[in-house]
Structures are given as structure tokens and as C-alpha cells.
Chain A
Amino acid sequence: MVQKYVLSAIPDDGLRVYVVWGPMLGEEKEDDAKRATTHLPDRRVTHFWTPGHAVAEAFEAPLGIPGTRAWDTFLLYAPGARWGDTAPVPAYFMHVNKPLPAERRLNGDKLAEQTRALLKAK
């Protein structure tokens, strides 16, 4: 979805994407992450692998979902946002099956629209 609606549709070099692959379902391995990188073939994408849940837990507070790991979320940041002692609050987010507003469920068109808006305001 991100490849088709965001990366392929928005060639702007002012965009960077960081993918944290992890054990959302419980049995994923690092090699799965290496294989999955082929789904996002774009030089603006950086891939990370974590065998644990620390990153997903770090974003519980910024998203307001304490106790629910933030796997399957898509967090968009405006230029200038910095990561200090705690994970930064996104300017916009989308999610899949989280206890968050239904209107923020992943939609490629909406995510692309918000990305374009931040790039335009840059």
C-alpha cells in the first residue's frame, strides 16, 4: 500500500521512510524482514529489524494506546520533528486494527494526501 500509493506516487526527495520489521505476529524472523524489503524497492526507504517489541511499545504513548503495541501503524512526521527522550508524536498517523479512530484505518489515498500536504508545507 505504501509503495503503490505513497512511494511510487510521490517521487519527492524530501520524503524518507523507515520500516521497522518485527515480530508482530510472534514468529517472524530476520530473514523474513530481508525478504520483505523487496516490497518497498525505493532508495528513500531504510529498513530495520528488531526481534523484540521495544520500538512498538515506545509508540504506545504518542498514539495514546497504552498497553497496545503499535505494530501495524504508519506514523507521519513534519520536517523539524525530533526524537528526544521519548518517541515523538506524529503529525498524522494511520493504523490497522488498533483501538484508534476508524477514520484513521490505513488508506493509501489518505496517507498519500497527508504526505503531500506536509511536503508542500515544507
Chain B
Amino acid sequence: MRSKAVSAFLAALVLGLPGSGLKSQAEAKPAAAPAAAAGSFAASAEGLWQGLLMYKPAELEVDVIVELAKDAKGAWVGTLDLPNQNLKFHPLENIRIDGSAVYFEFNRFAQKAQVMVETPFTGTLSADGKTISGDFFEGKKNHLALTLKKVGEAGTERTEAPRAPVTNLSDDYHELKARFNADAGKVRLILLLSPT
């Protein structure tokens, strides 16, 4: 489901539009990669991670899923999902993991603006390996805090609720009217939404 609000948020996320309410570059600058923790670091960034980009609590919130792993040659690879946008397995670029320091880029071509927008993430892996806390720097300017929690190992199948039946409405949408009136004893909420 994509409401216009969420679309607007995502536009801000990938385009760095003014007025997005995000903190400015003056407040926080994206580092090439955060400083690595001194000495050895046992925890691994490999895994399936889930987080919530909270632009405005209860108003604009976007789920994020990140998967990080090493390929056969030992190089980092990764993907990012925005489930509510039906975006899945978008490849991450320039992934760098150095001790507890995590860096990757979520780069997308903005069709409407016809520009490539780079969105780096810098974060820190917790000592217990359960979270990566950091910031998304949308358009390399504004930033939005993001804490990723480990929800599984790399390669773990993404869980998705089963699809529910969908009734096709007639021109006079009598199916909806009938259902609404049949439930007249209930509190009812009608949502008129785009599914994308």
C-alpha cells in the first residue's frame, strides 16, 4: 500500500527534497564509514535485519529490511527491501564492514526526476551482534536515524502474511454497500487506498 504521504516521504528519502523535516547536513554529515572499533570484533554484520524509518511517528513510517552477507570470494553483498512499496532485493552498493563499523549505499534512480540518488547508511554494530544503529543520509544531505534489529541469518526466507481474498467491485459497488450494512452493529472503517 502506498499512500501519497508515504510516496512523498519516499520522494524525500530518495530525492532530498527540501521541507522533509529531516535533520540537515549541518547537524550531521555522512562519514565515508564510521571508525572501526579498536581491536578484534567478534559480532558479525551478516544476517537479515529489520528496521523502521520513522519520519513522523504515527504519520510517516516505512519498514526496511536489509540483508548482508559475504559472497564466495569473501566480498560483502547485500539487498534492501521496502515491503510497503513492493521493493524487494534492491542491491546495496559499496558495502564496507570494518569491525563494528557498517557502511552501505542504497542508490536508486528516481524516474520522475531522472536522477540517480545516493543514500548512504552509516551505522555501528552492537557488541552482541543484535542491532546496527546508524543513520540514512538521504540524498547525502539530510539524515534519518535507523536502528536495524537482527531477525535472522542471511538467506533466511522473508516471512510474509498470506494473501487474503479480494472481491471485485461491480460498477455500482453494491458488494461494499451490502457488507457495510450487514455489519451495521459494528464500528466500521473504510479505507480507499492505492495498493502500490
Binding site for B on A (CB under 8 A): 1-2, 4-6, 12, 14-25, 27-28, 30, 32-41, 45-50, 52, 54-56, 58-59, 70-83, 88, 90, 96-97, 105-110, 115, 118-119, 122
Contact = CB atoms under 8 A, between A and B. Distances in A.
Interface stretch (B29-37, B89-97, B135-143, B182-190): B182-190
Contact of B194 (A2, A22, A74): A22
B169 to A, nearest CB: 4
17 contacts: A1-B59, A18-B188, A24-B4, A28-B195, A32-B195, A32-B196, A33-B195, A34-B163, A38-B164, A71-B194, A72-B192, A72-B193, A75-B191, A77-B190, A82-B180, A96-B5, A97-B5
B175 interface: yes
Given A15-B187, A81-B184, A83-B177, A50 B196 contact: no
A81 B179 CA distance: 12
A60 B3 CA distance: 18
Given A14-B186, A78-B187, 10 more contacts: A17-B191, A18-B190, A20-B169, A20-B191, A24-B194, A36-B195, A38-B163, A75-B190, A80-B185, A88-B180
B165 to A, nearest CB: 7
Chain B, interface residues (CB within 8 Å), range: 35 or more
A76 B57 CA distance: 21
Chain A, interface SS category: mixed
